[in-house]
């Protein structure tokens, strides 16, 4: 048979290593290297075998001892207390199953690069949890074709229906935060979001809009700020808001980091929280409680989300299906001291 | 030979698996299970074999592919930004060597329990980094006898001379922080330390004492506070200090978390930082910069310390000796806005 991956797909079951070798016109050892993530294969040969796997499918025979007692967690970025909460949850499940937790970081990239993928295959974990990051369709396919389970935790983008995921009720959180501020008597409520391409940001913003709409309060576009999830973003956006002719009396920040930036800019401007400006955060990381005054925030149960994702992964690795493949855990407004009624003079 | 581990030590080289089996009167397979951390061995047999290994020594033949491409990090407690800094550094070195980083957490215990040790042996990493924790002498011996390198990062107690370690200049940091406050004109300087059994706390306190002594300022025992490294500790200790007839005008806190507690208690008492109270932290975690006002702190280069420890471990795993086995990286005072001269009225 001619060594080409460009034929029409075959019917029937995924190919064995021997069949893949025959189709590609290479040795079984070469195919074995590719499916196990080894790098000592010529790029053209590797591409040919990968394309055969993509088109015809390959399913590793799962044997006892075939995978290592490891659970792989890949972070978009390992920064701040967000990562600590997630790791705490994963570690909890891993300990119960005597699994090691392997972490890797994409250094701010949302999609893992090529080297990462080969390293994971070499380690042969039970499965992979991708935190706040996406995989390319090609990468998801490669995991699938090798029978390695994948779970998305706090996914950022549109979801591939076939990949299990664990998220939080972002829309409900946005609704609850805004209703809390409306209930205190605020009407000039600013909202800060993360990047516009992130569905989680969109969901929170939509919750804000619905709360405002249901209260009959028009949304002023000047009070809708799109930024990044950094403290500096919260600081810069607040400086701009405070320069408006009619500045907001309350800010619903995109996360606790942005909210800290609101605190900093308020201190610069000599404004007191909550007397002059009310602030609500999102996530309710431990730092929310440390803020002076302690921050009212929408709690995302990050640790419980991580527990759910890791449990799902263990179930999948045992060849079973989890009870649900798409889980969204509820958010909850935690009221502390950063929110109060607007001043009577307004 | 009678199956007992109680004979006099043999001279010469460490025993092979076959010799261990002969001494213990068990099969080679059983010894192999014990040295590889498998749990399906009767407790008495396991104890006998471990005692033989301790007394006579056992050295695994290191072959290529004998250990997994993993680097193991065990945390006393994975909490706050300290862990994130450490992981960032380890991850950096691991990436360069295509190693996975496995993390485990002792949940506040300073010494790993038995289950952890067996799990590590099963995973067969290149080596282990123990962060802010100690191992029992028995555990250190077990790693040594199996040829698995161990490096202590930010060690807490007295050091076994044979175990490589990476720490920071705690004494110099205590000296620099105290001299900074003395230079601003403070004399009533309180100091907060971590638990008294931790050598790192002792070293910082000694640095404080030397700075005071060299400036001819007597140390008031009422201003020396021993606590834990938690925000709440800083808060409680500050409340007590502020109740003194002659309260301090400055606090040198044991770490940035304690310093945040000083901020909280000052806010409660209506005191302004730095006008009414100067505060210096230790570590200079990212949160130091976020504080309002930004915190003056002694920077411990945690990320660089982790890089040094991981690099050392990789070197040891290749059967080579690192250039130094006991490394202490320098600390550096970072002056921000939480320190100023005491008020002129005093």
The total number of residues shown for chain A amounts to 346
At residue A159, the pLDDT reads 65
Helices (H), chain A: 17-24, 28-35, 43-56, 80-96, 114-123, 137-145, 170-183, 199-214, 231-242, 256-268, 286-290, 302-317
Q: Which of B78, B115, B286 sits opposite A88 (nearest CB)?
A: B78
**For residue B5, what pLDDT band results from cuts at 50, 70 and 90?**
very low
Interface test with B, best of A80, A103, A263 (most B CBs within 10 A): A103
CATH number of this structure's domain A70-168+302-331: 3.40.50.2300
Fold annotation for B170-299:
Rossmann fold (3.40.50)
Residue of B nearest to A91 (CA): B104
- pLDDT at residue B346 greater than cutoff 70: no
d(CA A266, CA A272): 7
- pLDDT at residue B284 greater than cutoff 90: yes
Name every chain B residue with its beta carbon within 8 A of the beta carbon of A287: 287
CATH number of this structure's domain B1-59: 1.10.260
Q: Which structure tokens are listed for B141?
A: 């011996």
Q: Is B59 exposed, middle or buried (0-12, 13-18, 19+ CB in 10 A)?
A: middle
pTM: 0.79
Question: Which range among A92-101, B80-89, B206-215 has the greatest average pLDDT?
Answer: B206-215
Question: Which range among A320-329, B166-175, B180-189 has the greatest average pLDDT?
Answer: B180-189
Provide the 8-state DSSP code for B222.
Answer: G
User: DSSP 3-state assignment of B264?
Assistant: helix
What mean pLDDT is reported for chain A? 87
Question: Which range among A124-138, A259-273, B98-112, B197-211 has the greatest average pLDDT?
Answer: A259-273
Pick the CATH number of B70-168+302-329 from 3.40.50.2300, 3.40.220.10, 3.40.50.1100, 2.60.40.640: 3.40.50.2300
The H or E element containing residue B173 is helix B170-183
- pLDDT at residue B276 greater than cutoff 90: yes
pLDDT in tens, B27-42: 888 888 887 777 788 8
Q: Which structure tokens are listed for A13?
A: 């079951």
pLDDT in tens, B287-303: 899 999 999 999 999 99
The total number of residues shown for chain B amounts to 346
Q: Which of B80, B87, B290 sits opposite A103 (nearest CB)?
A: B87
At residue B345, the pLDDT reads 54
Q: Please, which residues have CB within 8 angstroms of residue B272's CB and are 6 or more apart in sequence?
A: B266
Interface of A with B (CB under 8 A): 68-70, 72, 78-81, 83-84, 87-88, 91, 94-95, 98, 100-105, 115, 119, 122-123, 231, 260, 263-264, 267, 286-287, 290, 292-293
pLDDT below 50 — which residues of chain A?
A: 1-10, 64, 346
For chain A, what are the domain ranges?
A: 1-59, 70-168+302-331, 170-299
Name the residue with higher pLDDT: A64 or B129: B129
> Can A1-59 and A170-299 be said to share one CATH topology?
no
Name every chain B residue with its beta carbon within 8 A of the beta carbon of A98: 115, 119, 122
pLDDT in tens, A249-307: 999 999 999 999 999 999 999 999 999 999 999 999 988 999 999 999 999 999 999 99
Residue of A nearest to B292 (CA): A264
- pLDDT at residue B110 greater than cutoff 50: yes
At residue B61, the pLDDT reads 57
Å from A87 to nearest chain B CA? 8
Name every chain A residue with its beta carbon within 8 A of the beta carbon of B80: 81, 84, 286
């Amino acid at each position: 048979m001619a060594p080409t991956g460009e034929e029409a797909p075959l019917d029937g079951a995924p190919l064995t290593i021997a069949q893949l070798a025959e189709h590609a016109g290479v040795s079984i050892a070469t195919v074995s290297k590719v499916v196990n993530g080894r790098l000592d294969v010529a790029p053209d040969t590797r591409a040919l075998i990968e394309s055969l796997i993509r088109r015809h499918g390959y399913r590793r025979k799962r044997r006892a001892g075939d995978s290592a007692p490891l659970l792989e967690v890949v972070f978009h970025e390992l920064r701040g207390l967000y990562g600590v909460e997630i790791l705490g949850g994963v570690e909890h499940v891993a300990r119960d199953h005597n699994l090691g937790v392997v972490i890797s970081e994409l250094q701010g990239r949302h999609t893992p690069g090529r080297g990462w993928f080969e390293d994971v295959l070499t380690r042969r974990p039970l499965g992979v949890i991708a935190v706040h990051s996406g995989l390319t369709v090609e990468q998801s396919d490669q995991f699938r074709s090798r029978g390695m389970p994948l779970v998305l935790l706090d996914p950022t983008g549109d979801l591939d229906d076939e990949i299990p995921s664990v998220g939080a009720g972002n829309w409900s959180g946005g609704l609850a935060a805004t209703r809390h501020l409306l209930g205190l008597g605020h009407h000039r409520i600013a909202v800060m979001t993360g990047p516009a391409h992130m569905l989680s940001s969109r969901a929170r913003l939509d919750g804000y809009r619905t709360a405002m709409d249901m209260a009959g309060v028009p949304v002023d576009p000047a009070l809708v700020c799109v930024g990044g999830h950094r403290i500096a973003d919260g600081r810069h956006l607040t400086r701009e808001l405070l320069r408006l002719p009619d500045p907001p009396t309350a800010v619903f920040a995109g996360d606790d980091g942005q909210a800290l930036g609101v605190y900093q800019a308020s201190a610069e401007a000599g404004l007191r929280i909550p007397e002059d400006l009310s602030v609500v955060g999102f996530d309710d990381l431990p730092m929310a409680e440390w803020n002076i005054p302690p921050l009212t925030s929408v709690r995302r149960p990050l640790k419980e989300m991580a527990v759910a994702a890791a449990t799902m992964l263990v179930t999948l690795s045992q060849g079973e299906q989890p009870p649900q493949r798409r889980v969204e855990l509820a958010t909850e407004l935690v009221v502390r001291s950063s929110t109060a009624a607007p001043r009577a003079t307004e």
